[in-house]
Each structure stands twice: as structure tokens, then as C-alpha cells.
Amino acid sequence: IPLRLVGSEMCIRDRSISKSKRSSAVSERQKNLLFKAAQRHWEEEFVGKEANIRKVDCRIYKAILYQLEIRQIFLDTSLSLKKLSDLLETNQTYLSNVVNKYFGCNLKELVNGYRVEYAKELLSFGRCALNDLPRSCGFASKSAFYSAFSKVAGVSPLSYQSRERRKRELQVIHELRYY
């Protein structure tokens, strides 16, 4: 299950920092917040419940979350087990085992889950044309995108977009009635 940070946890404290320093300061702050949240989640979910937990598993688990949540590597159309294991400086077997054991799926399913959630955000707010969506969300092909989206969301991207548009319209109508 993806761990999402809320906006208040990602705010910038000091506006006087230069743009490059601000970017690295935010990234470092986000990384620290994510690692603390991931550590708490790790301790609640896994520590004491399983006999063969290795310290390296927790490090890899947090590194995966950092790469997905903060760095958004799921947007890379060429992301693979090899590429991610190189990035995390671990071997493919360890990485695969951590994903399978602690995320409850394989790497492809995990990455596609993030890609689809990102696509849903873009669709909900009309930030991307449907034709551009697969590439914008990290999918190498339209067929892979449509297949993954339908599997994760339970509906096609077009149906999802229509449903979200109707929700927004109903919300506006509701707000107009009560104001």
C-alpha cells in the first residue's frame, strides 16, 4: 500500500533559501519525514510479527518508498528491477524479496499502482490529455496503460474521467445551493 505524505508535511519553512538550496532542502525534509513515517509503519506492521526480518530489509523498504514517493521514479518508462536495484545499491534478489514480502506484490504491480494513482490525479483535475496520459505516467505503451489502469481502478481511464467530472459538477451544484 503506497504511503502518501500530506501537504503540510512537505511545506517549505524558509522562503529566503535560493531555488537550488530550497529544492534540496525540501527533498531532504521530505526524505526525513518519509523515513520517520516509514520506520513507524515498519515497526507497527512487521517488527515482532515475523521471525526472519533483516535490518537490510527495512533499509531497502524505506529506500523504495523514497524513490517512489519523493523522486517519483515510477514516471521513468524504462524502470526495471535491475535499474532500481542499481539505484538502491542492492541486488535484484533482495529488492524483489522486499517488494514481494512487505508490499505484497511484485515490482511491476507496485510501480503500476503508483503510475495509475498518478494518472487518476491528472485525470481528476484535467491536467493531462487522455492521449498523453500513458507516457506522462511512466507507461511505455497505451495498451500497458489501459490494462494497468483498468486492473487497478476497476474502470477505463475515460470512465474514470467522466465519473470524476460528474462528481465535481455535483459538488459545485451542492455548494451553490447552500451558499
Residue-wise pLDDT for 47-59, tens only, equals 777 667 788 898 9
pLDDT, tens digit (0-9, with 9 covering 90-100), for 148-158 = 999 999 999 99
How many residues in total does the chain contain? 179
Q: What's the pTM?
A: 0.77
Confidence bin at 179 (pLDDT 50/70/90) = low
pLDDT at 65: 93
Q: How far apart are CA 161 and CA 86, in angstroms?
A: 36
Closest CA to 39 of 64, 25, 59: 59
The Cα 40–Cα 54 span in angstroms is 16
Cell numbers 523522486 label which residue? Answer: 71
C-alpha 120/C-alpha 56 separation (Å) is 33
C-alpha cell at 172: 459545485
